Structure 1
Amino acid sequence: MIEKQTELLAANEANAKTFKRLMPEVAEPYNALNREVYRDGAVSGKHKRLMALASALCIGCRACVLFQCRMALDLGATVDEILETCAVTLALRGTTGMGETERVVGYLRELGLIEE
């Protein structure tokens, strides 16, 4: 059975919401840091999310890959920008980056943003 990336992302987000409810003293400083880090500054929030996507692809964090991909899309990143970010990862990580890139392609396909 093929794992649905959209379902994985939804499950991750539900689990994160539960953690944040159970550990608000940890969650709020974490959320505040993220709000500050990803705000527009000298580098736009969209480009920061693309950088985070590249980092997530390099370290192989599937939850981070999906979340950062979605956040970049929400901030106006195009499919081409996402795929070029994946290409940078391949240059840095080699063939092991392809597995995570395949996750991104699957997610974009599930969203109807790319065709078979």
Structure 2
Amino acid sequence: MEKQLEIKSMISGNWAEYRRLMPEVGALHEPLTEEVYKDGVISGKNKRLMALVGGLVHGCRGCILSQTEYALQLGATSEELLEACAVAVSLGGTMAAAESTRVVAYLTEKELL
């Protein structure tokens, strides 16, 4: 079985290498991301949960794992993450349901379930 923590680490490492090779992209991407996900009328945590739904519906494993971790860092509970998965399943059907198993595996690996 795939280890979600290992996959997230590999993706993060490859993204860091891409940013090293393409620093102009990182210089543009990072400030935008920081601005978008900061607390505003909608909290940063809720924005991360929204982004998780998008990642689940579109099947982006890097997005799923990263947004799950960011949401946890901002205080999201396992229950909140699972409810976000339910929203994704409502929107994306069986494909989002299959991707939601990554969240379950990730939370299990982190001993949060």
Is TM > 0.5 for Structure 1 vs Structure 2?
Answer: yes
Cα deviations by residue, 1:47-88 (Å, 9 ceiling, x for unpaired): 000000000000000111000000000000000000000000
Amino acid at match of 1:40: D
- How many residue pairs end up in the alignment? 113
The reply to whether residue 77 of structure 1 matches residue 66 of structure 2 is no
Displacement over 3 Å in runs of 4+: none
Structure 1's unaligned 5+ residue stretches are none
Deviation at 1:3, TM superposition (A): 0.7
Q: Percent of aligned pairs with the same residue? A: 50
The reply to whether residue 59 of structure 1 matches residue 58 of structure 2 is yes
Cα deviations by residue, 1:78-102 (Å, 9 ceiling, x for unpaired): 0000000000011111111111111
More helix by share: 2
Structure 2's unaligned 5+ residue stretches are none
Cα deviations by residue, 1:18-59 (Å, 9 ceiling, x for unpaired): 111111111111001000000000100000000000000000
Relative to the length of structure 1, the TM-score reads: 0.96
- What are the within-5 Å matches in structure 2 for residues 1-116 of structure 1? 2-114=1-113
Relative to the length of structure 2, the TM-score reads: 0.98
Structure 2 Cα separation of the partners of residues 95 and 17 of structure 1:
32
Amino acid at match of 1:66: L
| Partner SS for 1:3 | coil
Structure 1 Cα separation of the partners of residues 91 and 32 of structure 2:
27
